[in-house]
Structure formats: C-alpha cells, structure tokens
Structure 1
C-alpha cells in the first residue's frame, strides 16, 4: 500500500478508534431520537474533519487551500446539523403539540371519591427515605466484615408480598475494592421493614455481580447497552421478586412527539442482579411484583402537561382558565401489592392551597384524581413546625391519610440530627386543626379530640383487652424512642409499647401478669398497645 493511501486512510482509522473508545465510555443509544446519539455523531464528525485537516498539512506542509476547504466543509456540516437539531426541537415543542402532550396521561386518569380512599394509619408506613437511609447505614456500620469493602446503593421503596419495605443494594467502595471482591460480587442488600423499622442484611448465595458500581463488562448500563444498542434507558431501579431475588427494573424510553418530546415508557427490561439473566416485557406483560416502571418525575411531568395544556398552549400562558399543576414534592403510598405516588394539585396561581391530589400507580400509570380542596403540603408542614417552633423540629413531606373520614396530612417532625422526635397531623380542609404528639398513638388521640371539639363526628376506636403472663421482652431504640416488645404466653403477636406512653413497662419482668388495650384492626405480628395500670 502506498504512503499516500496510508496517509489518506489514517484520519478514518483514528476516527474509528476514537469512536469505539468514546462509545465504550459514553454508551449512547444508537437511536435517531436520542440526543446523546446526535452529540456522539457530532463529536465523530469533528474528529474526522480535524484529522483530515491535520493530515493535509502533514502531507505537503503547505496545503492551506485544502485545509481551508475542509474547514469550510466542516462549517457547512455543523450548520446543517444545528439547523436539523433546531427543527427537531420545534417539532417536539408544546406550542405545536399541546393536544399530543395532553394525550400522554389523559386516558390513564379517572376521578375518585375520597370516601373510597384507603390510605390509613393502619396500612401506611411513616418511615421516610432519609430515616431509612440512616437506619441502613447503622446496620451496615455494625457489620465489620462488610463495611470496610462496600457502601449503600440507591434506596428504593417497594412492596413485597403486600408489605412496604425499602431496599438498598451494596455497592463496591471503589475500583480497588471491586478488584478484591469481583469474583464473589457484593454480598447482597439491606432491607428495612417500613412498619417495624427493622433492618437486616440479606446475604445471597450468589452475590450481586451486575450493578452500576461494577466496572467494564459487568457495569449494568454497559452490559445492557451491548445487548440492546438501540434502547434508551431511563433509570435502573433495584427491586425484589416475591422470593427475595434481586432484580434491576429498567424502563426503556420512547419519544412520541417529534424527535425528543413526549417521553414515555416503551417496554421494560428485568435483569437478575446476581446472574445477569435478562428478560424483556411489554407494558401489559410486566410481572405484578414489579413496582417502579414509571419514574416519579415522569408521572408528575405528564400530569402537569395534562393539567396545564387541556385548553391549549396560549391558555396555559395567558388566560390560564382551568390550569392546574402538581405541587412541589411527593411521597409514596402502598396499595395492595403496588407502589403509588402521591402529590397535591393546585391552581397555577400557587396560592398555598390545593384543589385536589392524585395517586398514580408506578407500575401501570393508572392515576386517580381526588377533588379535595384545602391546605397545600408545605403550608401544613409549616403549621406542624409552628406548634413545636421552640424545639426547632422540621417536618417531612406529608402523607395524605383518611383519618375518621377526614383528609389528613401526617408527617414526622425531626430534630437537627435527622431523628424523628414527634409526629404531626393537619386537617386538609380545616387546616387550623393541628395536632402533634411524641408517638403516633398520642398524636392520633389529640387529633381525634380536636375533631370532636370542631363538631366533626369521630368513630370510637374498637379495642380489645388482652391479658396474660409475660413470656419474653425485647427492647429497641427507634428514632430516639425506646420500645418494649412484649410476648405473652399463648399469644402469637408481640405487643409494642413505647416508653413515652407506657412508663410502667419499665417495672415489668418476665413472669409478670399484665393487661393491654389493643386496636382490633391491628392484627399483625407486632401490634401497638397501651398498658393498663
């Protein structure tokens, strides 16, 4: 091969090699509707033209006209690229496609009656994400053989066999720790029961070998990119199937409006975190144990399109008749075996009041709108904080519950160290009704009394008297409060008593006979109780 041919091929060879390296690192989807793909193409075009210019100079040392033509061609190419890019953005713009943006969510929404709303204190956990992470870190820190090599991955809330739990996979602590442990993988994951707040490390027979903390071929995104080069991955969600096996739930995006607009989910990939086995499901085939098909922010953005653009783009900007959007912030409410996202809905004027709220199923995108007007979440948080302002506690983003048939915000109140010290309840419609208590039971009791004082009928709690001989006593400190877990002879459940509400439990021992008042609706393995003096 002549030197001239070699020199003319060299820019192409350099561009190909550089393209392979960039692709391996950046992992763009080979998809015309992926912005990352077009950026990748632009970088390759710049590399090729730069290589040709340099090769032209090196060939003769005076190929200025040739170099100039390359630069001119490069300029034309970039101009055409930018023009096409601008056109594609306009084709996705809400101004031209308002009805199509409304259609992203329209068919999934139905209106509900609050009397059918099922989230109550008995079935909704109040442990928030930050507290769950703190508990997980404490559990990880107590495991000497694990904490030196691994760290917590992203914490996810899921429902497992109808129970709400939070799970965090273990990640490698860095490249060298990965190199030391790559044959076995990470040991497993930490699981927190959202009701009992107990955390445990679940050690797997076969470690987690496919995750975002891996390197090279087992890095989760790279592993999937090699299998699905055309797919646009939106997120990687760690979940467990009903047998406790770890999986990555990976929704694959599609852009339904123009080039880059109308983001939605096309199909779902499931990756066994231990074996790497991969399964592809259409949206109507996704297993019921899967929770996080639709990203929370995606659901919220689609509802905002629906609420703001129903009467056209110009109305959303000027007249704003009937325009409504979600409030800032959201929370999760388990329903059955699914995880639902909750957020308030307010008028576009944002006058610190809500006109309703939505619940959206993160697996199916089924969305229920409840027309309940009242206080906006952050106003309710401020109301609870105001009651204990002398203590400086901060409220978590609330859950919306059905308490005595009343829409009620329930939130935890934390100190500067992030520990839960109290709980707050605020009536949504009559937000001057605010109750706080050191325990959930005491907070609920005060709230019920306030409802009575405001002429709101309250159903008397059905309790049962349980008596027996103490067989076993266990203690646990949860968010700064000590709990005694009492097992009575011939009773299957443990009875949980907080020291703050049941100080006499400190004087009781195994073999003593005690009597407890227990809510009849509370029938789990651990039942909240009050000690009868």
Structure 2
C-alpha cells in the first residue's frame, strides 16, 4: 500500500539530504514525482541548485537525486552515481540562463512548440531525465491535446523527441493531469450540448476534486478520478481510469462516496486524535472498490492507515499498520453483510468439507466466526451471521459448503455458507423468494462489472 504521499516523500528526502555533510547547504530537493522503476513504486526528486551563487560556483551540475519508497518511510536513497560514474545534473530548475531546462529547450528548436508538465523521471538503469509533454491546440487557442514528449538528458543536454506511440516504456506520464481533467469535464458538461449545460443540465457530470496517479496490475499508470452529477457533493455515479500514456479511458459504473467524503469518514473514526487524512488511493480489496489513505498528525508524520469502502463510506478500517487496518476493514465488511464482489477479476470457488475448528470474535460491527475446513487447512474462512444464521449453531464435525472469492490471502471472506449437517425445511414460497433474491444479486453483480469506454481523443476534446 502507498503509505508515503508527495509531501511526506519530500520531507524524507530533505531529511536524507541533511544527513550528508555539506550537501544540504548547496542544493535543494526539487519536485517529487511518483514513478514505477522496474517493480518498485517510488518517489523521485532531483537535486537543484539552492541559489544563484551556488549555481555559479558549481557549474558542472548537482550531484544526483533522491529516491523514496512509496511503501516504506525508512527506504530513502541518495543516488550520486550510475554504474560507477558520478552524476552531474547540469540542467535543473535551480540553474540559471542556458542551464535552465526551459531555456535550454527554447534555444534548441522548441521556441514555438507547446510544452507543459515537466516531470523528473529515471529510466530502468537509473539515468535521470526531464520528460515534458508536447501539445497542440486543436480549436484556435483552446483544445490542448498531447502529441508526444521531449526527453532532456539532464547531464548532457541532449533532447530526444518521441511520439506517443514511440515513447520508451519507462516514461509513465505523457497525458498531463490538467488536460485529462479539462477534457473529462467538457465531456460531462456538454453531454447533451451547450444549451443543456446552461439550462436543464440533464445528465450533466463533472469530476470530483483532486486526481491521483495510480498503477494497475498491468504495470500501466492511470489518472484516477470520481465522476459525480453536477451539484452533488458527497456522492459519485462512478469513476474513471485514464491511461497516462495513451489516454484510453475505462469507466466504472459504481455509485459511492467521493474522495473528500471518504477522508472525512476516516478522520471521524479517530476524531479524538485529530489526525488528518491524505488524498486517498483507489484499491481493489477482496473484489470491492476501496479507498486507502494514511492519517497524519499536525507534524505531518504518518500515525495510522485507513481503508474506506467506496460503496458505503460508513464502512471503515483504521489501525496503526496497513495490514491491521485492512483486517479491520474486512471485519467491517463482514459485519455489514457484504457478499457481492465488484467485477470479475478475482477467482470464485466453492468447496465442501468438515469443520475442524470454529471460533468467534466480537467486533464493533457484530460477531465474526472463523472456520477451519478439512481440505483447506491453509485458509481460515471468516463469516458473519449476515451471510447465514446457520453459522450460529455450527460446531466441529459438521459438513459445510462455502463459496468465496480468493484474493490470495490466508484469511478469506465467505460469500455463501451452508451447513449440510442441518436440514432446515423451507416452504415453496420461501424457495421462490430466495431464487428471486439470487437473481437480483446476480443482476447487481453484473451492473457493477467494469464497463470499458473506448473514448477516442477527439471525443475527449472539447467540440
């Protein structure tokens, strides 16, 4: 889980810089950017000259950059050499005149080219670059649309242009956040034309406040934001993931809470401590869309982690560690009788076996039963009375059948429980009711399935 946000990453980087004798007095940490390097998600920040005279006396450049793990506050590295060669980052935003990256590109053929969203990134070998988006305006002075990137080697000053299709895989960001936000809002505002956006406002949508960069299992990066009806404050009608390279959009029809509402819910769970929630990141927890965020004290230090359900922001799990917070969140889900999975990315199974052990745990949301089943000794099944009242009278030796979504965890939440040793009689009418309920539940599951929106660039651009 991403426990380190941008402000904390910068603070940790500055602390590491201060530990190097004499270095902190001549350079400063630049803007930190999130990036996936091989399989590690980390924050990377350049070392910039801290003033004019520092630049004047160190014209060869600054001695490297800082890497901060996004999952471990103690993993902070000051990189000063690559493959035994010392780094000299001549082109940085603490430099002046022709050593400034913007001035350097201006003097080398980019004076009349639209440039935006300067991002410091490193390739898989650790070599540093500045990546800047190249764009064109498609409708007069409006309708900015990314067409590629220009990559600046901060050591040599070499500039390499790439189209969107030809950009190296290590480049995560081509589509600027501002472009994506504006184009999504144009799409939602003018869904039925300009006149409707002013008068009736039928079906008018907008993005929620804030947009975050997330990474999927496919190793691609996405801009994430919620989508809500115009005039709505706390609720969303769904959310979108926009590929930061290709701008391909995936929209998920999922009613739920906004990021702001989720943050307030997490803060309310520990209101006596006065913690402040960071901007949440979307995760898939046991098949359900979930916000994850850290809680900081007034000094900006991480004190706890929190999980909040997108579907129901009253379902919250908070603890000092992310692992314990996730466990508390799972308990809260079970206590609220949740048995519907979101999407179909997690494998579903049904098994039958004898109860070897059973124990119960009383929580603030109800009683959770933990069951060890023969043939599945490597998993501990968790079930609440909201799933089936038969769990209340289940004992070791009973034969049971359980259905569950396997996300790879040792403790598994059960979605369906049946004690085969108990033969409860049902009326024909009750059987019919249960069949209709199952049909409704399946319909709800299908309605939550991912809906891909193949939005072309011209459809995302204001018309």
* TM-score normalised per structure 1: 0.61
State whether structure 2 residue 187 is matched by structure 1 residue 311.
no
State whether structure 2 residue 148 is matched by structure 1 residue 271.
no
Q: Deviations over 1:43-85 (max 9, x none)?
A: xxxxxxxxxxxxxxxxxxxxxxxxxxxxxxxxxxxxxxxxxxx
Shift of 1:431: 2.1
Shift of 1:340: 1.6
- Matched ranges for 1:487-506 at <5 A: none
Match of 1:189 in 2: 65
The one of 309, 313, 327 aligned to 1:445: 327
Count of residue correspondences: 341
**Whole-angstrom CA distance in 2 between matches of 1:338 and 1:174:** 37
Check whether the contact 1:380–1:409 (CA below 8 A) recurs between aligned residues: yes
**Whole-angstrom CA distance in 2 between matches of 1:160 and 1:244:** 8
State whether structure 2 residue 17 is matched by structure 1 residue 140.
yes
State whether structure 2 residue 331 is matched by structure 1 residue 455.
no
- Give the secondary-structure state (helix, strand or coil) at the position aligned to 1:211: coil
Match of 1:411 in 2: 293
The one of 307, 327, 331 aligned to 2:208: 327
Shift of 1:430: 2.1
State whether structure 2 residue 217 is matched by structure 1 residue 217.
no
- Matched ranges for 1:4-23 at <5 A: none
Match of 1:161 in 2: 38
**Whole-angstrom CA distance in 2 between matches of 1:151 and 1:398:** 28
Unpaired segments ≥5 residues, structure 2: 340-401, 409-463
Shift of 1:206: 3.5
**Whole-angstrom CA distance in 1 between matches of 2:319 and 2:272:** 15
**Whole-angstrom CA distance in 1 between matches of 2:288 and 2:231:** 26
State whether structure 2 residue 114 is matched by structure 1 residue 232.
yes
Match of 2:232 in 1: 350
Check whether the contact 1:288–1:337 (CA below 8 A) recurs between aligned residues: no
Q: Deviations over 1:261-293 (max 9, x none)?
A: 001113311111111111111221111110121
Taking a change above 3 Å as real, the CA distance of residues 386 and 463 of structure 1, as seen in their structure-2 partners, is closer
Match of 1:426 in 2: 308
Check whether the contact 1:404–1:459 (CA below 8 A) recurs between aligned residues: no
Check whether the contact 2:4–2:72 (CA below 8 A) recurs between aligned residues: no
**Relative to total residues, which structure has the larger helix share, 1 or 2?**
1
- Give the secondary-structure state (helix, strand or coil) at the position aligned to 2:130: strand
**Whole-angstrom CA distance in 1 between matches of 2:291 and 2:117:** 30
Q: Deviations over 1:294-347 (max 9, x none)?
A: 111211111111111121111112111111111001222112443222111110
Match of 1:282 in 2: 163
Instruction: Give the superposed CA RMSD.
Output: 2.2
Tell which structure's C-alpha radius of gyration is larger: 1
Shift of 1:163: 2.0
Shift of 1:461: 10
Match of 1:380 in 2: 262
Shift of 1:196: 2.8
Taking a change above 3 Å as real, the CA distance of residues 304 and 268 of structure 1, as seen in their structure-2 partners, is same
Shift of 1:235: 2.6
Shift of 1:462: 8.6
Check whether the contact 2:286–2:405 (CA below 8 A) recurs between aligned residues: no
**Whole-angstrom CA distance in 1 between matches of 2:14 and 2:32:** 11
**Whole-angstrom CA distance in 2 between matches of 1:459 and 1:391:** 39
Match of 1:150 in 2: 27
Unpaired segments ≥5 residues, structure 1: 1-123, 465-533
**Relative to total residues, which structure has the larger strand share, 1 or 2?**
2
Taking a change above 3 Å as real, the CA distance of residues 460 and 186 of structure 1, as seen in their structure-2 partners, is farther
Match of 1:297 in 2: 178
**Whole-angstrom CA distance in 1 between matches of 2:336 and 2:150:** 52
- Matched ranges for 1:1-80 at <5 A: none
State whether structure 2 residue 161 is matched by structure 1 residue 241.
no
**Whole-angstrom CA distance in 1 between matches of 2:117 and 2:329:** 40
